[in-house]
Amino acid sequence: MSGSTLGAILDLDRSSVSRLESGQVKLLEKHARVLDREWDTRGLFQILVLFAKSGHDPEWFKTHFEMEVRSSELRIWELAWIPGLFQTEPYARAIALADGAQDVDAGLKVRMKRQECLFRTPRPHLWVILDEGVIRQPVGGPEVMRGQLARLLELGSEPNISVRVVPQSAGAHVGRNGAFKIMTVDGNDSVYVEANIGGRLVVDATDVRSYRARFDRISDRALPVDASAELVQRVMKEFE
């Protein structure tokens, strides 16, 4: 079957079929259902997708970085660290040392390179929501934290970037279940869910919509942009 014919069956263009064939994008559950029906494969593709979603793919971590730099929109909810795209080199170094990284300098070079995507043309749009604990957790000492929080304020003042903070007074909310990142590439959303080792890439449309809804609910608990910036400034003074 030609790629064009398969594309017509799946309601995809030829280039999207090519990316499916090469493994650049994952097979969605809705497309698996179509293939099982068209090819009479008795649910094989749906079962394979189910197992793929329940297992771990070491390539997810790398794939999510590749998608991150290509994203036209990023929605980030973070519980533990300043997001990698916003980290200063001293802050990132402190994290790497605490994690016992073998080649700290090489990792820092990659991380700093990733940040160039913030200023490409056209610039991506970012909505970043942080738990208050992220800006209060001392990483690398007072001087490192002052520099990191200053960087956060600097990027938050860019017209394409929104930074907001969920205050500790918000109490229990849906965001406490874990950090995640919604990436929009070529009009399609994918989600990277943080984990201790590796993380998880979510591409199923239904699952992605649930993370979109979760992000909106977290946003409801966050301070407005200006109030968030004022909170960051107050915390900066505490590190003097």
Listed by start position, the domains of the chain span: 1-55, 56-238
pLDDT value for 197: 65
Helix (H, G, I), strand (E, B) or coil at 90: helix
User: pTM for this structure?
Assistant: 0.78
Does the pLDDT of residue 194 top 90, yes or no? no
Dihedral in degrees, nearest 10, Cα atoms 196, 219, 238, 159: 100
Q: Angle 3-10/14-22 helices, nearest 10 degrees?
A: 100
- Quote the pLDDT of residue 107: 87
CB 165 within 8 A of CB 135: yes
- What integer best gives the mean pLDDT of the chain? 91
What is the second-level CATH architecture of the domain 56-238? Answer: 2-Layer Sandwich (3.30)
Question: Token pair for residue 207?
Answer: 């699952």
